[in-house]
Chains A and B, each alone.
Chain A
Amino acid sequence: GQNIDQPTEMTATEGAIVQINCTYQTSGFNGLFWYQQHAGEAPTFLSYNVLDGLEEKGRFSSFLSRSKGYSYLLLKELQMKDSASYLCAPAFTGGGNKLTFGTGTQLKVEL
């Protein structure tokens, strides 16, 4: 499989900014998705990057560097409801648009 590395846990304060990093093997890379998963629920789509650079979507932004095998998810103006697991999921060539999911970063937002 493809090695995907992201921190296991992070803690941040309400109203702050947090950056969740993800690294992956670049061989066969075909784009990267970020998903949010609240405890006991299904993952929901947050962002998709296929070209280098920053994609901004409201309070959430995602960055990609294809040559470095690196992405990050930036969450601004943190809210308590942002407490969730954030899954980095690169897509690789090989048919079926298959994604390989990291183990996720558990973000805890505190007052």
Chain B
Amino acid sequence: NAGVTQTPKFRILKIGQSMTLQCAQDMNHNYMYWYRQDPGMGLKLIYYSVGAGITDKGEVPNGYNVSRSTTEDFPLRLELAAPSQTSVYFCASSYSHVQGDYEQYFGPGTRLTVT
């Protein structure tokens, strides 16, 4: 299993540009999550999904959009990038609580700089 994969690893955007951060998992997890982590801070939940076709906002959703057309993929879209979106973005996935162990597995992260 590759686990959770994310692309790209690094990206520099100009203010106002858009991009999509890709995330895929091959563990057949129902649940997927997007977090951002600013230096010295904890992870903040941006969006999450409990299954294909179902997404919901987390703590800091403004400026982002997501879709979940398949169980495996959960892309994060940044529209009109702003310097405040400079951060490290982590995607994670897990089983649902009723399936047993539901720890979240994290991808390697995407380091995004907006200038």
Contacts and interface: CB of A to CB of B under 8 A. Distances in A.
For the residues of A in contact with B, the DSSP-based class is: loop
Interface in A40-57: 41-45, 48
Contacts, number: 51
Contact of A95 (B40, B50, B104): B50
Interface in A1-55: 1, 4, 30, 33, 41-45, 48
A96 B48 CA distance: 7
A42 B59 contact: no
B57 to A, nearest CB: 11
Contact of A96 (B43, B50, B101): B50
Contacts of A4: 42
**How extensive is the interface on chain A, given as a class?**
20 to 34
B41 interface: yes
Interface residues of B, number: 27
Chain A CB within 10 Å, residue with most, of B40, B42, B50, B94:
B42
B40 A43 contact: no
Given A45-B103, A103-B42, A96 B31 contact: yes
Contact of A101 (B43, B102, B103, B105): B43
A96 B32 CA distance: 9
Interface of B: 31, 33, 35, 40-45, 48, 50, 56, 58-59, 90, 94, 96-97, 101-109
9 contacts: A33-B103, A42-B106, A42-B109, A43-B90, A44-B106, A96-B56, A98-B33, A98-B48, A104-B42
8 smallest CB-CB distances across A and B, nearest first, come from A42-B106, A101-B42, A45-B103, A101-B43, A103-B42, A96-B48, A97-B102, A43-B106
